[in-house]
Amino acid sequence: MSRERLVVIGNGMAGVRAVEEVLKADEQRYAITIIGDEPYENYNRILLSPVLAGENTIEDIILNSAEWYAENGIELIKGVAATRIDRVRREVELADGRRVAYDKLIIATGSKPFMLPVPGNDLDGVIGFRDIADVETMLEAARKYDKAVVIGGGLLGLEAANGLMKNGMDVTVVHLMETLMERQLDATAGEMLRKSLEERGMTFVMPAKTTELLGDDKGRVRAVKLEDGREIEADLVVMAAGIVPNVQLAKEAGIHCERGIVVNDYLMTFDPRIHAVGECVQHRGVCYGLVAPLYEQARVLANHLAGSGWMAYEGSVTSTKLKVTGIDLFSAGDFLGGPETEEIVMQDARGGIYKKLVLRDDRLVGAVLYGDTMDGTWYFQLIKDGTDISDIRGKLLFGQAHLGDSGHGEEAAVANLPDEAEICGCNGVCKGEIVAAIKEQGLFTLEDVRAHTKASASCGSCTGLVEALLAHTLGGDYSATPSEKPMCGCTDHTHDQVRAAIVENGLKSIAEVMRFMEWKTPNGCASCRPALNYYLLCAWPGEYVDDRASRFINERAHGNIQKDGTYSVVPRMFGGVTTPDELRAIADVAEKYNAREVKVTGGQRIDLFGITKEDLPKIWADLAKAGMVSGHAYGKALRTVKTCVGSQWCRFGTQDSTGLGIRLEQLTWGSWMPHKFKMGVSGCPRNCAEATIKDFGVVCVDSGYELHVGGNGGIKVRVTDLIAKVETEEEVLGWAGAFIQLYRETAHYLERTAPWIERKGLSWVKEQLEDEQRRKELFERFRHSQKFAQHDPWSELAEKDDPIFRPVAELA
Partner 1 sequence: MTDNWVEVAKVADIPPLLARVVKTKHGDIALFHAGDGQIYALDNKCPHQGGPLSEGIVHDCRVACPLHNWVIDLKTGEATGPDEGKTRTYEVKVEDGRVFLKL
Ligand X SMILES: Cc1cc2nc3c(=O)[nH]c(=O)nc-3n(C[C@H](O)[C@H](O)[C@H](O)COP(=O)(O)OP(=O)(O)OC[C@H]3O[C@@H](n4cnc5c(N)ncnc54)[C@H](O)[C@@H]3O)c2cc1C
- Amino acid of residue 36: G
CB nearer to ligand X: pick between 259 and 548: 259
CB of 238 vs ligand X, minimal distance in Å = 10
645 binds, among ligand SRM, ligand SF4, ligand X, none (CB under 5 to 8 A by kind): ligand SF4
- Return the residues of window 564-623 that contact partner 1 according to CB under 8 A: 565
Nearest distance from C-beta of residue 735 to ligand SF4, angstroms: 20
Q: Site residues (CB under 6 A) for ligand SF4?
A: 644-646, 650, 652-653, 657, 682-684, 686-688
Q: Which H or E run contains 421?
A: none
When asked if residue 763 is in the footprint of partner 1 (CB under 8 A), the reply is: no
CB of 559 to partner 1, least distance (A): 11
The sheet carrying 82-86 orders its strands as: 82-86, 91-94, 99-101
The site partner of 804 among ligand SF4, ligand SRM, partner 1, none (C-beta below 5 to 8 Å per kind) is partner 1
User: Are 626 and 585 in contact, with CB atoms under 8 Å apart?
Assistant: yes
Q: How far is the CB of 520 from ligand SRM (least distance, A)?
A: 27
Closest contact distance (angstroms) between CB of 655 and ligand SF4 is 8
Asked if 147 and 235 count as a contact pair (C-beta separation under 8 A), the reply is yes
The minimum distance between CB 487 and partner 1, in angstroms, equals: 14
Q: Which amino acid is at 126?
A: V
Task: Say which entry of ligand SF4, ligand X, ligand SRM, none residue 686 contacts (CB below 5 to 8 A, set by partner kind).
Answer: ligand SF4
Residues in contact with partner 1, total (CB under 8 A)? Answer: 36
Task: Choose one: 141-149, 281-289, 421-429, 708-716; the region binding ligand SRM (CB under 6 A).
Answer: 708-716
Sole binder of partner 1 in the list 479, 550, 568, 712 (CB under 8 A):
550
Kindly give the interhelix angle for 431-440 and 463-474, rounded to the nearest 10 degrees. 50
- Kindly state the smallest distance separating residue 745's Cβ from partner 1, in Å: 25
Using the CB atoms, write b or e for 198-228: b if 16+ within 10 Å.
eeeebebbeebebebbbbeeeebbbbbbbee
Question: Binding string to partner 1 for residues 512 to 531, with x set by CB under 8 A, is what?
Answer: ---------xxxxxx--xx-
Closest CB to ligand SRM among 642 and 775?
642
Residues in the chain: 812
- Identity of the residue, 13 or 688, whose beta carbon is nearer to ligand SF4 in the bound complex: 688
**What distances in angstroms separate CA 239 from CA 38, 113, 118, 153, 247, one per listed residue?**
20, 7, 11, 10, 20
The listed partner (partner 1, ligand SF4, ligand X, none) that binds 201, CB under 5 to 8 Å by sort, is none
Residue 176 interacts with which of ligand SRM, partner 1, ligand SF4, none, CB < 5 to 8 Å by class: none
Instruction: Please list the residues that pair with 606 across neighbouring strands.
Output: 600
Which amino acid would we find at residue 249? L
Q: Which is nearer to ligand SF4, 463 or 657 (CB)?
A: 657
In angstroms, give the least distance from the CB of 688 to ligand SF4.
4
Sole window of 262-270, 441-449, 562-570, 787-795 interacting with ligand SRM (rule: CB under 6 A): 562-570
Only segment of 200-208, 464-472, 654-662, 802-810 that touches partner 1 (CB under 8 A): 802-810
Residues 6+ apart with CB under 8 A from 177: 153, 206, 207
- The answer to whether 438 and 474 are in contact (CB under 8 A) is yes
Nearer to ligand SRM, 261 or 629 (CB): 629
Residue 684: name its binding partner from ligand SF4, ligand X, ligand SRM, none (Cβ under 5 to 8 Å by kind).
ligand SF4
Provide the H-helix boundaries in 55-154.
Answer: 66-71, 132-144
Closest CA to 215 of 307, 114, 120: 120
584-603 footprint of ligand SRM as x/- string (CB under 6 A): ---------------x-xxx
Q: How many CA atoms lie within 13 A of 295 on its CB side?
A: 16
- The residues pairing with 223 across neighbouring beta strands, listed in sequence order, are 214, 233
Reported as type and span, the H/E element at residue 535 is: helix 528-539
Does 336 sit near ligand SRM (CB under 6 A)? Answer: no
Nearer to partner 1, 150 or 437 (CB): 437
C-alpha to C-alpha distance for 475 and 469, rounded to whole angstroms: 10
Contact 645, 652 (CB under 8 A): no
Cis status, amide bond into 207, omega within 30 of 0: yes
Among partner 1, ligand SF4, ligand X, none, partner that 646 touches (CB below 5 to 8 angstroms by kind): ligand SF4
Write a three-state SS string for 3-48. Answer: CEEEEEECCCHHHHHHHHHHHHHCCCCEEEEEEECCCCCCECHHHH
Which among ligand SF4, partner 1, ligand X, none contacts residue 688 (Cβ within 5 to 8 A by kind)? ligand SF4
CA-to-CA dists, residue 526 to 523, 535, 552, angstroms: 10, 15, 8
Spatial separation of the C-alpha atoms in residues 711 and 691, rounded to whole Å: 8
Sole window of 290-298, 554-562, 733-741, 750-758 interacting with partner 1 (rule: CB under 8 A)? 554-562
Binding region for partner 1 (CB under 8 A) = 426-427, 451-454, 457-458, 521-526, 529-530, 548-554, 556-557, 561, 563, 565, 803-804, 807-812
Binding region for ligand SRM (CB under 6 A) = 459, 560, 562, 568, 570, 599, 601-603, 605, 607, 631, 633, 639-640, 642, 676, 678, 712-715, 752
